[in-house]
Structure 1
């Protein structure tokens, strides 16, 4: 299952709060319909029924659509600050 770093949790929480996303909402990662092999990230008010909830323990929710879950299973979501806001990065999980 996709893992989420503390940096990513903080970035998602900040973005969700700024956007007025409800507490049960969060960041959703899905396969890109326009560009196969790429992923789309969006703030959503709640997960879709088939979504995998990645970060249930934290206050920040990250959801992965069922099609993307397989491709993301061995990856880690991290966030790096920039002047335009946080940049999200997917990389191999650390053991």
Structure 2
């Protein structure tokens, strides 16, 4: 299952803090079609019915079935540039 670093969890909490339903809001990672290796990230107010849910430190990530498979052994990290723009990166999980 996808894991979140502390930086990613904080970034997600920051992004969803002003959402209409912050208690359920998170980010959703979805595929661009069946079997596609291209994934997109968007803000979501709730998971879709088939989504896997990853929750760490109050931060929620919703994964569609293809994304859940692709990211099963990965970690999500986040960072911000000097202008405050957040970027996410997928890395290998560390033991």
Judge same fold: TM > 0.5, yes or no. Answer: yes
Which ranges in structure 2 are unaligned for 5 or more consecutive residues?
none
TM-score, length of structure 1 as denominator length: 0.87
Structure with the largest fraction of helix: 1
The count of corresponding residues between Structure 1 and Structure 2 is 91
Partner of 1:41: 41
RMSD, aligned CA: 1.4
Tell me which stretches of 4 or more aligned residues in structure 1 moved more than 3 Å: none
Return the TM-score normalized by structure 2. 0.87
Match of 2:79 in 1: 80
Could you give the per-residue CA deviations for residues 11-52 of structure 1, whole angstroms, max 9, x where no partner exists? 01101114x24111100101124xx31210011110011100
Q: Which runs of 5+ in 1 are unaligned?
A: none
Three-state SS of the structure 2 residue aligned to 1:40 is: strand
Q: C-alpha separation between the residues in 2 aligned to 1:14 and 1:54?
A: 17
SS of the aligned residue for 1:61 comes to: strand
